[in-house]
Chains A and B, each alone.
Chain A
Amino acid sequence: MLRGASGVAQGTRIRVKLHPALRRAAATTEAEQELCLPPGATVRHLLEAFDLVHGEVGLVVVNGALAGEAQELPDGARVELYPVFSGG
């Protein structure tokens, strides 16, 4: 499993915004945080880095566009994670 490690010199730097319902996974109360993942990391790697239960995240936005789990994360990407939702 990958772990976010701020300060790693070479890698994919991303900025992640978590919906409040997902912040437990980031072990933070901060809405946003920076991570550095190995080069070539995908959305799936990012979700694994946060220990999220598979299926807990319903929507991933990368640089303003919807993204699937296989999408590679470009360096400097801004990622938003939202919980799966239905009903109301």
Chain B
Amino acid sequence: MDRLGYRGKILWVDLATGAVRVDEPRPEFYRTYLGGPGVALYYLLKNLGTDDPLAPGSMLVFAPGLLTGTPAPCVPRYTVCARSPLTGALGKSESGGYWGPELKRAGYDAVIVTGRAATPVYLWITRGGVEIRDAGRMWGLDTGETEELIRADTGERRARILGIGPGGENLVRFAGMVSDLTHFNGRNGLGAVMGSKNLKAVAVYGSQSVPVHDRDQIREIARWAGEHCREHPLSRALHEHGTPLGVETNNAGGCLPTNHWSRGVFDGAAEIGSERLTAELLVERGGCFACPVRCKRVVEVKDPALRVEKRYGGPEYETLVALGSNCGISNLKLISKANELCNRYTIDTISTGMAISFAMACYERGLITKEDTGGLELRFGNEEVILSLIEQIAYRQGFGKVLADGPRAAAARIGRGAEKLLVEVKGQDVPMHDPRVKTGLGLQFALSPNGADHWFAQHDPFFNTPGSLGLAAVAPLGILEPVHALDLGPRKVRLVLYTSFLNAMYDCLGVCVFGAVARSLIPVNHLVRLVKAATGWETSLWELLKAGERANTMARLFNLRHGFGPEDDSLPEVFFKPLAGGPLDGQNAIDRAAFARAVRLYYAMAGWDAETGVPTQGKLLELGLDEFVGG
């Protein structure tokens, strides 16, 4: 059978021995697991023991989606998976850009790295295979400096480079990795896993088009997307204003995380929102492989005191809030500089901002003092501490040492009840969305296998009015009736369950959530057409959603194997209390009992035991996961 859409090769590299091999799974493997987290979880479940995530025996998987690298529009993504050093649960992070497509163009569907190199190395992957190259000169350098050296070393200016900065090298447990300096696999500390392996970067250059069954059909859909993306209100808004538009919306709604989640409105919101960013700092709109939306912000600051280089991109909504309002900071140039530093050091902007805001909350309450912080006055809104704390975290210096192992470790070190100020799930800081205005998001935070994640499923506001754009988008899933944003009954649970399958399907295919419905323009049935055109399979939405469900179920198995259970599927205390400030002041505390019932109902709907959350044997067999029964 022809290998169309996928390449049929999975590259294994053992850094301890230097051994390299290529596996060639059967076509049925690809049709079952597709790509991305489906493929990664298969190998993690088959091979990963219960080692320390930063021990040499850990496995790190880089896996583009099934469609990634084909000309399909809005499909640039790849997944990185390992056991997370931040949570101890599944580590999983998606990114767009050009690295994933390049790996497919080099002839591989995934790269699996095991072992620890004796000295720093980087991988150089081309059509001719893989070389393990010395990275001694690069160790200790930031991502921009590293990229320049790798381009010189390989002699290939078109190489796509995914790497880590000092945060990953220093095993900061929320270190990420970045490709082309702007596309971030931010969450779950996977950059620390790279660092633990002495792996500085994975550079790729492939020159082959990915073979497909019907290129004209894919091009026709790509043309349609190109023609319609400026007409579709959501994809157009993403292009023109980007994710930062959420700052103004959430502040008006009284749900903008402010001063470590203690308020829902921020006096300085207008200073850090999309209108100001677009008018004053935006110099370009960036994008990803084969994507007409181009939603990424590129900013530049020429002020010598806060110079921000445009090659590091610009802040997204999460960053503007995590390092802005949630720290009481309304200086947009400062936030942009903080974003640049996090990219250069490869530390996650959400967790970094949350580490700082948590420390500020502790300081404001007198749990820590200047004696603890090395003289830093960690008050909300103190602009002087932001950049120095980022540096201290990345290099594990000063008070940064207290914060660099993640929120739970920081609270344990501080003591004095600091754990009551944590806003995390499974040990990962909550992203900048408040579940008190969208309860389905709360279920996502609780149920996501990789800790609090705002893209485990779709967000409630798209589906709360009849006849809306969002509701029409999910009709092919059988979701036909509007569901109120604050509902916690069966219809909400079903919405979260079905759209969690949808989002997992997106990840397995490599589809970007900012390209496809409900957040953007590509309809789900177009994705079915794209898979048919890429692979030649006579497939269906049912089969592809099943692959998403399969990946989610495998993630559940992975976490159960590592000791996680229903007690970990919860929300931080702050969300069971009312919002403060703004139009919802004193309202919207989540009903604890109703939330617990909704979690149990999700288990039951997913085919998991309603009390233990363990997938039933029947569900595993139904999904074709026979080999994992009893695992």
Contacts and interface: CB of A to CB of B under 8 A. Distances in A.
Asked if A and B bind, the verdict is yes
Interface of A: 19-21, 24, 52-56, 58-59, 61, 64-66, 69, 80, 82-88
B468 A54 contact: yes
Given A55-B470, A83-B237, A87-B459, 6 more contacts: A54-B467, A59-B253, A86-B246, A86-B519, A87-B455, A88-B243
Nearest to A66: B583
Contacts of A53: 233, 469
A80 B252 contact: yes
Nearest to B463: A55
Contacts of B583: 61, 64-66
A55 B583 CA distance: 21
A82 B248 contact: yes
A26 B45 CA distance: 53
A78 to B, nearest CB: 12
B210 interface: no
A56 B472 CA distance: 12
A15 B318 CA distance: 31
A19 B253 contact: no
Given A19-B245, A21-B237, A54-B467, A86 B458 contact: yes
Interface residues of B, number: 43
A54 B469 contact: yes
B495 to A, nearest CB: 13
B275 A20 contact: yes
A65 B278 CA distance: 27
Nearest to B460: A86
B467 A20 contact: no
Contacts of B472: 55
B246 A85 contact: yes
Contact of B249 (A54, A55, A85, A87): A85
A21 B245 contact: yes
Given A56-B234, A59-B253, A69-B465, A84 B248 contact: no
B348 to A, nearest CB: 13
B352 to A, nearest CB: 15
Contacts of A84: 234, 249, 461-462, 470
A61 B583 CA distance: 9
Nearest to B231: A53
17 contacts: A19-B245, A19-B275, A20-B240, A53-B469, A54-B465, A54-B468, A55-B469, A58-B461, A59-B253, A82-B252, A83-B233, A85-B461, A86-B433, A86-B459, A87-B459, A88-B243, A88-B431
Contacts of A59: 249, 252-253
Contacts of B243: 87-88
B305 to A, nearest CB: 28
Classify the interface of chain B: helix, strand, loop or mixed: helix
Classify the interface of chain A: helix, strand, loop or mixed: loop
A4 to B, nearest CB: 19
B441 to A, nearest CB: 8
Contacts of A86: 246, 433, 454, 458-459, 461-462, 519
B275 A85 contact: no
B513 interface: yes
A84 B248 CA distance: 11
Interface string B274-310: 1100100000000000000000000000000000000
Nearest to A69: B465
Contacts of A20: 240-241, 245, 274-275, 278
A60 B249 CA distance: 9
Given A87-B513, A88-B432, A55 B240 contact: no
Interface string B435-471: 0000000000000000000110011011001011111
A40 B610 CA distance: 49
Given A84-B461, A85-B245, A55 B468 contact: yes
A88 B246 contact: yes
A19 B248 contact: yes
Contacts of B468: 54-55
Nearest to B242: A88
A58 B249 CA distance: 8
Contacts of A65: 583
Best-buried of B234, B275, B469, B513 by chain A (most CB within 10 Å): B234
Contacts of A88: 243, 246, 316-318, 321, 431-433, 454
Contacts of B241: 20-21
Contacts of B252: 59, 61, 80, 82
A54 B317 CA distance: 24
A80 B467 CA distance: 22
Best-buried of B274, B468, B514 by chain A (most CB within 10 Å): B468
Shortest Cβ-Cβ A-B pairs, 8 listed: A55-B468, A88-B317, A86-B459, A55-B469, A21-B237, A82-B249, A85-B246, A88-B243
A86 to B, nearest CB: 3
Interface in B459-489: 459, 461-462, 465, 467-472
A5 B316 CA distance: 38
B469 A56 contact: yes
Nearest to B315: A88
Interface string B236-263: 1100110101101110111000000000
A88 B295 CA distance: 10
B245 A83 contact: yes
Best-buried of A59, A69, A85 by chain B (most CB within 10 Å): A85
Contacts of B514: 87
